[in-house]
Copies of this chain bind each other. A is one copy, B any other.
């Protein structure tokens, strides 16, 4: 089997998997393509390999830059912009964790804080309040762990992972 075939299989499949992850197909495909590409690619290169429109390519490149997963690279003598992905998978995982924390966890935490802040002495709400408090405490804990994880480096992560695995 050729490299191209295997590579194509990888980024095509990674795209469909992305959907399960709540990341859109094109975004996941472009990321996969750049992750295994040795050199930086231009918008044109990406459009051609993935057979997608310019607008779609541009939108998703921008999203990937927002996530910090790819960067622009200016090649001297070339006017066109090239893009390359962060290749260290540990670092990639921290960038993804950061973004998902922001999108998935922080808004939930804000809602829970708002609800628990309401003073209420009515006996009938006791159990409700208690359950909200449990959910809040758990969410806050996960949030603080994610924060620590995001700010850490590869060796801290490895240390933690081997502690958990033992």
Where the two chains meet, the residues of A that have a C-beta atom closer than 8 Å to any C-beta of B are: 1, 3, 6-7, 9-10, 13-14, 17, 20-22, 35-36, 38, 87, 89-90, 93, 103-104, 107-108, 111, 115, 118, 120, 122, 124-125, 127-128, 131-132, 134-135, 138, 141-142, 144-145, 148-149, 160-161, 163-165
Q: Is A115 within 8 A of B3, CB to CB?
A: no
Task: Judge whether A36 and B131 touch: CB under 8 Å.
Answer: yes
| Given A138-B89, A165-B144, A13-B111 contact (CB < 8 Å) | yes
Q: Which of B21, B87, B107 contacts A131 (CB 8 A)?
A: B87
Are A164 and B148 within 8 A (Cβ)? Answer: yes
- A13 CB contacts on chain B under 8 angstroms: 111
Shortest CB-to-CB span from A21 to chain B, Å, is 5
- Picked from B17, B93, B122, the residue with its CB within 8 Å of the CB of A111 is B17
Given the known A-B contacts A20-B104, A22-B21, are A115 and B164 also in contact in the complex, defined by CB atoms under 8 Å?
A: no
Q: With the chains together, A3 CA to B9 CA distance in Å?
A: 53
Interchain CB contact under 8 A, A89 and B20: no
CB neighbours (8 Å) of A87 from chain B are: 131
Beyond A141-B165, A144-B165, A149-B164: 10 further Cβ-contacts under 8 Å?
A3-B120, A3-B125, A6-B118, A13-B111, A14-B111, A22-B22, A36-B128, A90-B138, A141-B161, A148-B164
